[in-house]
Structure 1
């Protein structure tokens, strides 16, 4: 069929730009004194912008060198390409349609408030940094010399240097504005994502939302697919024809990343004036389910919806989806396609200036996470670009999606009214992504926000999206009276644990109620990046001896770091000791949680994956994407099948060594006949020298069931007399290959108090 479908005209490129700290741009001449009565009406077609700065769109204006917050103006002139002129398009379609074309101006991301004019006509306003929005400009567009003007206001919501202000935030910007991992002197602003003019027929598809339903026997071993899946395509159609009519609708569903035959479904839609919604049900035989990479294959489908009339295509809309089912059992028991899953992951914000990110950079990050054996990323109080979610779909990574609210927000009802539409925008934007598993509406929000703002958002979200898990907030123990609200709101809390950083030593974890470890969504310790990275943002004169003010401006908590490592004598030792401690911290915490798999722990998300600006933080990958040793410690501790021991304490001479050995298996397949090898090495007085002398070795055979944790045997030595350092090495293998390795160090020291082990 001949196609006259939508044409997207990019409006990116060089625009004119002017900051407006005094808010003169919308004033009329008579409102200003005579000396300044020409410094206004920036949206007028005759306004002279030749003295304005040039700026690239899309980009946060900070990325273009403008360290500014407040109102600013963008102007751009453009002509329609010949193929998009009203006259040429109308003549091509009038014979069949008896109508014309629509021109829609679409913005994919403006931070934060936007007011838009075209050719001197005001179009409207939008709030929120992440959601696309558009205006119909058909009656205002011209073939040549169109003027597009945008006023962007990205105000400083709070005084970032005043701690009490951080409890009064009214802008929904989350960790982009207020976070202990970002640059508090940068509050992003500007047209940071694409701008385009969409030319379509008078009847066009606004969006297509895909739901899937299927039956799967939970008793099936391993990964299996259902016999049939029901696809529900909800299609929003807009008609500007001015009269009701009908259109033919063809829906094609075909595999996107595997081989298979397409399914084509045809029907007729009755299209009234303006917007209409149509839900079409399609049976898909022998579907392939979407899984995380460790449980199966992240199978994806493309759905293409075409509407036509009289052999002419009116519009075509294509999107991608996956067939999967998420559910929650008792507490935080989480099921993907009927199989219980243990979360292994981290907290992620790509870059404080999101315009710096593109698909290649996102792919680098998501692959780094997957290579570290992670199956989930929590987007920390941020909505990322769509490319991030595309890659999580493709690579089989679940997303714990925060709404962009960090810590405490203002308590007024006005914020509730403004937040709920942005919640719907977030759900609409990400709805078809199978990777998105959880919506969360508060990161350590405090009682006031939890009971009002978080409650309103979570309640409305449960109505708006019934296919995902909804969490009202996450918290850390004893922050406020959370246990009382846990019962009142039937709130399954996912906790944050910082034993070994903010609190007591890592061993303090054993003092908490075991029931509080159902899901852990933050745990971490800071570490310096490598010297090469550090020298890129800390001035040479401030590196060593360290000028703490400079380090603190880059997020470093030197007082806490020096609680856990020896006082450094030089910069290289400082870097090495901080990185070694972080790696120890992450190994200890991660193994502690994994040994409680499903009893009661269902997952652990480390804080945080990467730096979103040049900084010294809890990240395991620095801003320049160089992994720290903590990254490799996580990679090992997150091995889907792993051998773990009880963490050995230092011993007094003559004390016994007695450690439990555990095998944790997150795969949906059993491993029969595995071999566990244990080797105890004595390394003398210097643990850094040589492999050591073999003191004892043990090995045993065991069968490991799918998705389980089992205690193997105990590694026991009646007593250790030799003073010095020891290393316990563990190897898990089958008859062909090594599946996992692990190691623990401890010492025998006369200074250790001998314990009564009766």
Structure 2
């Protein structure tokens, strides 16, 4: 080593020692850029403003007199009972600019938004459920930055007395429904508006390519699977790099399939398509049929050895098929009977957090529900991710509820939002079908009694175009143009009696059935005003605002009001429980003859009310929850009867069915039938049966000899050959003169 090399080495040692002792420093690599958090406290204008007045978008605008609001969050739960256009503003500071292009991302805004950054208009978006973003690389500045958002969540046009037949907002139950505050048909039915920035707002690095309309379609042939991946790239492509697709599995993320595809020169907006080959992979199954196996799909662009991820999705390999002729559903080529519930967790999507959704999904699973219909709304992405992991199938409605304007512009907007729904949510394996419109006017002739200007063909063309939009965007799933009125029998509530569910069904799809029930007294007392003696009200308007349907309860269902509120609560809960059990068991006894799916309405009351939930708004179970849980057991002895009272001389014959929705035979199973009067066993039967997979088996009726007056309970228990309890049932009746 020469003298100059030794001197140079010595100098570096001195510099290093000085740095270690705090007496100097050496150059260090610049730290990675950290984007500021944008969630939290924003300034908010509660005044409805003129859309042409854009003064608040300027950085120098003084909004110090504005109150504050939390983002994410809808405005009504934060004390702002508002509708229409309202300003959001917040500042953030950058001590340096990002090293790479950046984008501003909104998880969700109800209903539309216009966005400015430092006085520059970034763009606008409409539709409450979809995420959207803007590139902001050239708008960011050193020091203070001002982000301004105009959120518009208007009321429908109330000057039209038939406004609810001619809605213009694609909001489903968020703007018009029986379970909204005020109900569907009162003048107060649009209160407690759902507007606001309900999802996360964040700055983040922008991928080099804008990947949109990403589609994942998988096929299954026994254990062999394959998939196709399609997406649109907004920028023009040059044939320099490669696309790399990785399929990552395993909790340790060690199992990786990697596929490389050359970049083909394309114009901007080109649709790219890649195929993953047939291979043996784990399948995604509903939870009672197997493992809900999941993979992560990573899409990257590689150029000159540099890999940049542009998209990541949670996916699964499964194939869904609906035989419309027979009304039967198949997943991975195995037939499955759908035992479902309808679900509206909240009107305010910011409240649909991980804890609430996980709790509700667990309650569904405990009630033996295997599919949930997200009823005329769309939930945040976190719900579908959890459903994926749990193996809970999802029937996804598009948010159209009853009547809308028949205008070309509205049809085009509905098609656009349908494509967004498929693009942003279609990769979830839990989503097994799309349904376009709940009870459209062209299929709801009962509307002629509600609206003076009802037209029998209203929205038919809209729904045809919406159906085509879904089928074109996603050919891998069953699509329904509408959830039809005939699929919502509502026996024992809007027509007929609850015993009518015992008659032969005419529909393969039953997507709504149920009855109302009041919540328990302590809960209801926190919702409406009650007198000290709990007397029934003379004025029912407060109850009706909170969804109680008086005519249906007393006149059509025949629920006894009782002597006071406590008795009415008890009577309504017993009625709901009895109807749910009898309807569910009767329809399940007709499995595939022709019934292939049933959906109770509904799981939970999403606000302080008295409606069709088997859980109240605090998630306390009503007796109807246990009734649903019992009637939805995958394997069960069904002994529910339409009659609960018999005369002493009457010959009693109670039906006995064995229901098996699982793909497993139970040979040499043991069924016990025990009849009790109080604690006394008065009759007992036991038999061995071979219960085959995915079947309904009718056994001889249980016919005890003449019984004296009294109350009785018939208990049925089904055991496997290994003495494991497979299912149970109880039926109470009385013999009375």
TM tier, shorter chain? 0.7 to 0.9
Question: Which of 716, 731, 735 is the aligned partner of 1:730?
Answer: 716
Note if contact 1:565-1:581 (Cα within 8 Å) is conserved in structure 2: yes
Q: Who is 2:462 aligned against?
A: 453
Q: Who is 2:523 aligned against?
A: 533
Q: Who is 1:467 aligned against?
A: 476
- Residue 164, structure 1, aligned to residue 151, structure 2: no
Question: Which of 45, 48, 69 is the aligned partner of 1:18?
Answer: 45
- Residue 346, structure 1, aligned to residue 341, structure 2: yes
SS at match of 2:506: helix
Q: Who is 1:370 aligned against?
A: 365
- Residue 212, structure 1, aligned to residue 253, structure 2: no
Number of corresponding residues? 680
Give the drift of 1:422.
0.6
SS at match of 2:610: coil
Of stretches 276-285 and 124-133 in structure 1, the one that deviates more from structure 2 is 276-285
Question: Which of 176, 183, 197 is the aligned partner of 2:203?
Answer: 197
SS at match of 1:726: strand
Q: Who is 1:491 aligned against?
A: none
SS at match of 1:361: helix
Note if contact 1:238-1:274 (Cα within 8 Å) is conserved in structure 2: yes
Question: Which of 247, 254, 258 is the aligned partner of 2:241?
Answer: 247
Give the drift of 1:567.
2.8
SS at match of 1:145: strand
CA offsets 1:506-552 (integer angstroms, 9 cap, x no match): 122345xx352311111111111122322332235499324422211
Q: CA RMSD in A?
A: 2.5
SS at match of 2:415: helix
Question: Which of 31, 52, 58 is the aligned partner of 2:72?
Answer: 58
Counterparts of 1:643-654 in structure 2, within 5 Å, are 643-645=637-639, 647=641, 649=643, 650-654=645-649
Give the drift of 1:4.
12
Q: Who is 1:704 aligned against?
A: 691
Note if contact 1:590-1:637 (Cα within 8 Å) is conserved in structure 2: yes
Query: TM-score when scaled to structure 1?
Result: 0.85
The 1:274–1:198 alpha-carbon spacing in structure 2 relative to 1, beyond 3 Å, is farther
Counterparts of 1:141-156 in structure 2, within 5 Å, are 141-156=140-155
Q: Who is 1:521 aligned against?
A: 511
Question: Which of 361, 382, 404 is the aligned partner of 2:377?
Answer: 382
The 1:3–1:331 alpha-carbon spacing in structure 2 relative to 1, beyond 3 Å, is farther
SS at match of 1:517: coil
CA offsets 1:105-164 (integer angstroms, 9 cap, x no match): 22111111211112212222211111111222223221332221111111101449x973
Note if contact 1:204-1:314 (Cα within 8 Å) is conserved in structure 2: no
- Residue 662, structure 1, aligned to residue 654, structure 2: no
Q: Who is 1:234 aligned against?
A: 230
- Residue 177, structure 1, aligned to residue 204, structure 2: no
The 1:317–1:527 alpha-carbon spacing in structure 2 relative to 1, beyond 3 Å, is same
Question: Which of 693, 701, 704 is the aligned partner of 1:714?
Answer: 701
Give the drift of 1:7.
7.6
CA offsets 1:68-98 (integer angstroms, 9 cap, x no match): 111101112222364xx14xx2xxxxxxxxx
Of stretches 285-294 and 406-415 in structure 1, the one that deviates more from structure 2 is 406-415
Question: Which of 184, 188, 193 is the aligned partner of 2:194?
Answer: 188
SS at match of 2:569: helix
Query: TM-score when scaled to structure 2?
Result: 0.87
Of stretches 409-418 and 391-400 in structure 1, the one that deviates more from structure 2 is 409-418
The 1:152–1:259 alpha-carbon spacing in structure 2 relative to 1, beyond 3 Å, is closer
- Give the Cα–Cα distance (whole angstroms) in 2 for the partners of residues 257 and 655 of structure 1: 62
Give the drift of 1:570.
3.2
Note if contact 1:114-1:152 (Cα within 8 Å) is conserved in structure 2: yes
The 1:5–1:710 alpha-carbon spacing in structure 2 relative to 1, beyond 3 Å, is farther
Question: Which of 278, 290, 312 is the aligned partner of 1:318?
Answer: 312
- Give the Cα–Cα distance (whole angstroms) in 2 for the partners of residues 437 and 353 of structure 1: 25
The 1:418–1:674 alpha-carbon spacing in structure 2 relative to 1, beyond 3 Å, is same
Give the drift of 1:341.
0.9
SS at match of 1:295: coil
Question: Which of 732, 736, 739 is the aligned partner of 2:726?
Answer: 739
The 1:646–1:632 alpha-carbon spacing in structure 2 relative to 1, beyond 3 Å, is closer
SS at match of 1:19: coil
- Give the Cα–Cα distance (whole angstroms) in 2 for the partners of residues 321 and 543 of structure 1: 57
CA offsets 1:702-736 (integer angstroms, 9 cap, x no match): 1111111111233224x525233332221111242
SS at match of 1:246: coil
- Residue 358, structure 1, aligned to residue 358, structure 2: no
Counterparts of 1:390-539 in structure 2, within 5 Å, are 390-447=385-442, 448-477=457-486, 495-510=487-502, 514=504, 516-539=506-529
- Residue 634, structure 1, aligned to residue 620, structure 2: no
Q: Who is 1:579 aligned against?
A: 573
Of stretches 372-381 and 272-281 in structure 1, the one that deviates more from structure 2 is 272-281
The 1:592–1:118 alpha-carbon spacing in structure 2 relative to 1, beyond 3 Å, is same
- Give the Cα–Cα distance (whole angstroms) in 2 for the partners of residues 12 and 264 of structure 1: 36
Of stretches 67-76 and 496-505 in structure 1, the one that deviates more from structure 2 is 496-505
- Residue 80, structure 1, aligned to residue 86, structure 2: no
CA offsets 1:421-467 (integer angstroms, 9 cap, x no match): 01111111111001111111111112134522211101221111101
Give the drift of 1:265.
2.1
Counterparts of 1:30-69 in structure 2, within 5 Å, are 41-69=55-83
Note if contact 2:511-2:599 (Cα within 8 Å) is conserved in structure 1: yes
Note if contact 1:57-1:193 (Cα within 8 Å) is conserved in structure 2: yes
- Give the Cα–Cα distance (whole angstroms) in 1 for the partners of residues 226 and 532 of structure 2: 62
- Give the Cα–Cα distance (whole angstroms) in 2 for the partners of residues 120 and 387 of structure 1: 33
Q: Who is 2:275 aligned against?
A: 281
The 1:272–1:452 alpha-carbon spacing in structure 2 relative to 1, beyond 3 Å, is closer
Give the drift of 1:256.
4.8
SS at match of 2:702: strand
- Give the Cα–Cα distance (whole angstroms) in 1 for the partners of residues 518 and 283 of structure 2: 42
The 1:402–1:207 alpha-carbon spacing in structure 2 relative to 1, beyond 3 Å, is closer
The 1:549–1:496 alpha-carbon spacing in structure 2 relative to 1, beyond 3 Å, is same
- Give the Cα–Cα distance (whole angstroms) in 1 for the partners of residues 244 and 411 of structure 2: 40
- Give the Cα–Cα distance (whole angstroms) in 1 for the partners of residues 686 and 599 of structure 2: 32
The 1:502–1:5 alpha-carbon spacing in structure 2 relative to 1, beyond 3 Å, is farther
The 1:207–1:404 alpha-carbon spacing in structure 2 relative to 1, beyond 3 Å, is closer
SS at match of 2:240: strand
CA offsets 1:219-257 (integer angstroms, 9 cap, x no match): xxxxxxx1x3223233444548xx835223332212256
Give the drift of 1:293.
0.7
CA offsets 1:336-384 (integer angstroms, 9 cap, x no match): 1111111111000111111112112110011110110000000010000
CA offsets 1:472-516 (integer angstroms, 9 cap, x no match): 112334xxxxxxxxxxxxxxxxx11222222222122345xx352
- Give the Cα–Cα distance (whole angstroms) in 2 for the partners of residues 584 and 204 of structure 1: 54
Give the drift of 1:562.
3.1
CA offsets 1:25-45 (integer angstroms, 9 cap, x no match): 533xxxxxxxxxxxx622122
- Give the Cα–Cα distance (whole angstroms) in 2 for the partners of residues 505 and 611 of structure 1: 24
Note if contact 1:113-1:152 (Cα within 8 Å) is conserved in structure 2: yes
- Give the Cα–Cα distance (whole angstroms) in 2 for the partners of residues 459 and 79 of structure 1: 47
Q: Who is 1:103 aligned against?
A: 102
